[in-house]
Chain A
Amino acid sequence: MRGMKVTKSLKSFLTGVALAFAAGSLAIAVGWKMYADATATAATSAPTPGKQSIAKSLRALHGAAGLPAPTWARQTLQDLHPGTYADARLLAPDLVLASRGDGVCLVTRRGLSQCRDRFNLGHAWIAGDMIRQTDSVDAPFDVHIYGVALDTVDVIHVAKGDGTLVRIPVRNNVFRATLPDTEFDDLNRIDVATGTDVVSSTPAERFFPKLR
């Protein structure tokens, strides 16, 4: 008799705990959705008038290049700006491109994800980061450079301070490279090239500020 009472009490207790977890999870989900919607609304405004569409100038978004965007990328696109992204394509490992109005969204699995309505170096959008090879304060850095370029761009050149020139080919309007054992401080210049012609050039520090 006493055993049955204890079992019943335990069942009630566990039901209460489960209910609390369910209610808490629901509250977190609803709260987060409301917060995200409010933040997104606050950031929205009309597009800048008088701009050319960069989305139209990217052939990879108008054909069958690459593969359909995987779920992780579609989720990030929805997080950035809710929409359909019918043309979202995986164009390089862990790198997805999609149009959004006249602009374009770049989504990476490990790195930058953002939409833009203009490029930052002539006909190219240069992005990247510097991450240690292992999670140790003594580990060397790798620099990851990636981005988007118009149909006319063939290659991105990254000149290092030691005289090395890293050539990053553009395929399907995107590019991506890892410069091992490299820090932002080691980068000197970035060129955007068509064939053998450099069409845009800038000190690397503009995108990858030196720390020292």
Chain B
Amino acid sequence: MLVLGPVNVLNDLLLRFFSQETINFFIWPLIQIGLVVTLVALWVAYATYLERKISAFIQARLGPMRVGPWGLLQPIADGLKLLVKEDFIPENADRWIFFFAPYIAVASAFIVFSVIPFGPDWAVIADVNIGLLLVLAVSSVGVLALILAGWSSNSKYALLGGLRSSAQMVSYEVAMGLALIGALMFARTLSLSGIIIAQGSDSIWYVLYQPAGFLLFLISGIAENNRAPFDLPEAESELVAGFHTEYSGMRWSLFFMAEYAAMVVVSAVAATVYLGGWYFPFVYRLELAGHHNLYVLVSLLVFLVKVSIILYIYFWLRWTLPRFRYDQLMDIGWKWLIPSALINIALSAIAIFLVQALNGWRGMRTIETLDRGLNLTASGKVIMIVIGFAGLFITAALLSRINWRSRDFNLKTQRRNIRLVNLPKGKPAVSASEV
């Protein structure tokens, strides 16, 4: 076993000093954590490179080309530059909060990687049975960092950016959590590995059962990460740079790292919950006897590819769409995303109820087992997928009916209406002679 070799040798070596239990619960997790932190940091650095490259390609430019071949060493050069730059703290800033806010941002983004299942077996640090809850809880702590950074900078731009980001993140978090519930109804577990295994044993990606949920999760994830077109907290044209206006050097780059790490987290959760995680597309029983570690590595690669595709969608959207107005942002959050997430939950509940009711009706079989998530037969899957995609249109139609008044939100019209109210009655606004 070529791939297995070093792992076993290392295990034997460690057995001389520690007991097997210590190795399993202490040494291996430490190695995993070290690997994940370094690799994710590197990945985040190269995400900035990819973003620059992709934005350049979309705009028919070349992007970074001078540092290394094809500018491949650019992130390292940038990192070095930021490390040696002056770490400036404004005179009237709240020093300690200003000092610690970036750490909160980075920590809340990186802690989440402890439960992300990069692959089966040893490729996940901790398979917690409340994994998804932990992801949502910890990543929402990131808002705190932005608020603290905005407040402690003692600058109007930073404060406004912090206010905006807190309002935005709080309102989109609701939609994000609600969007995931639909998928959880099928998986019947909060453990991220459990969700993947449930998809594997059902031989399907939940994006087919939950297309609306997937879209909602992606949109609210983009908004949650303050990415364009929802990058109101750092709108350059209005707020200079938003909450990190006053930051410089390494502290600024920590915010940058946190943003990209949070993007990777949201993409990873989307890939886990909706795109079948580390399962190879269409092949769910890939494992060969005796090649376990190779299987884990292949699964790891599949997972990374899926995450990269979602990251590409992030970049793609950023360089296609202009920024939303603030009221549009809140409109989308409260009037569209949250109600549609609720409708999605109701629809999936009805769908599951329907499938369960149809099971055994006139000899029809729709459910295989309920042991590892909801496992459906072919006919059950067809029903579920049809309801899922019909749900997209049902939701959109219902909401456009409900929101028909607020769809054409026109500030100019509103102002005119307000001006009309104050007009003295009985007199025309413009006298006839003037016309």
Q: Do A and B come from one complex?
A: no
